[in-house]
C-alpha cells in the first residue's frame, strides 16, 4: 500500500534541504493552482508568470522559516496566488484589447465583462481585508461599526439595540474609524484599486 506523503512532511523535508520535496509539492498541486489562476486572468502567459511568482514567494517564505505548518499548505499557496492576481490587476488597470478598424465600436470597450470581473475580484479582496481589520477593533466599536456600515442602521437604532446613548454610539463609531485608520497606516495596507 503506497500512501502519499503528506504536504506537511514534504514542507518539513524541503526546509531541511530536500529540494525533491518541493518538486513533489509543485507537481502535486500544479493543476489546481494553475486552473485557479487561469480562471481569474484568462491568459496562459500571465497564468504561468503568476504561478512562478507564487512559488518564488513560497520558496522565499519557507527558506526564511516564516511558514507555520497547520496542515494548510495548499490553501496558503492559493492565498499567495490570489494576492498576486490582485496585484496583477491593480498594476495593469488595462483596457481590453481591440482591433482598430472602421467597425470600431466604443461600446465593445466600455462593456467588457472581463473588466467587470477584475473590478469584482479587487472589490472582493478589499472587502475581505476590511472584514479582517474590523475584527481587530474592540467589541463595542466593532458592534457599532457593523450595525452602521453593514446593516445600515441609524444611530438611534444602534442606541436602542445596544442600550447606550446616541452620543455614546457616535463616539464608538468615531473611535472605530480612528482605530481602523491607525491599523491601516501601521500595516501599510492599501484598500483602493
pLDDT > 70 fraction of the chain, expressed in percent and rounded: 81
Q: What's the pLDDT tens digit per position in 146-172? A: 888 878 888 889 999 899 999 999 999
Residues 121 and 48 in one domain: no
| CB burial string 33-62: b at 16+ within 10 A, e below | bbebbbebbeeeebbeebbebbbeebeeeb
Residues 90 and 120 in one domain: no
Q: How many domains does the chain have?
A: 2
101 falls within a domain: no
CATH of the domain at 15: 1.10.1740.10
102 falls within a domain: no
pTM: 0.49
* Residue 121 lies in domain: 113-193
- Nearest by Cα to 33 from 18, 59, 25, 7: 25
170 falls within a domain: yes
Radius of gyration of the chain (CA): 23
Last residue of a domain, one of 40, 62, 94: 94
CATH of the domain at 117: 1.10.10.10
Q: What's the pLDDT tens digit per position in 48-60? A: 999 999 999 999 8
107 falls within a domain: no
Amino acid at each position: 500500500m503506497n500512501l502519499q506523503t503528506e504536504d506537511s512532511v514534504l514542507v518539513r523535508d524541503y526546509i531541511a534541504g530536500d529540494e525533491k520535496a518541493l518538486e513533489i509539492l509543485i507537481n502535486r498541486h500544479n493543476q489546481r493552482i494553475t486552473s485557479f489562476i487561469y480562471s481569474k486572468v484568462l491568459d496562459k502567459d500571465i497564468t504561468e508568470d503568476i504561478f512562478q511568482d507564487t512559488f518564488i514567494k513560497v520558496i522565499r517564505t519557507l527558506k526564511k522559516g516564516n511558514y507555520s505548518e497547520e496542515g494548510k499548505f495548499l490553501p496558503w499557496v492559493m492565498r499567495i496566488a490570489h494576492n498576486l492576481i490582485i496585484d496583477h490587476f491593480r498594476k495593469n488597470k488595462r483596457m481590453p484589447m481591440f482591433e482598430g478598424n472602421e467597425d470600431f465600436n466604443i461600446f465593445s470597450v466600455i462593456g467588457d465583462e472581463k473588466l467587470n470581473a477584475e473590478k469584482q475580484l479587487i472589490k472582493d479582496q478589499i472587502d475581505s481585508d476590511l472584514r479582517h481589520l474590523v475584527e481587530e477593533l474592540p467589541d463595542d466599536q466593532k458592534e457599532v461599526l457593523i450595525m452602521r456600515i453593514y446593516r445600515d442602521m441609524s444611530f438611534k437604532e444602534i442606541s436602542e439595540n445596544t442600550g447606550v446613548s446616541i452620543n455614546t454610539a457616535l463616539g464608538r463609531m468615531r473611535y472605530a474609524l480612528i482605530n481602523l485608520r491607525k491599523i491601516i497606516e501601521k500595516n501599510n495596507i492599501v484598500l483602493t484599486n
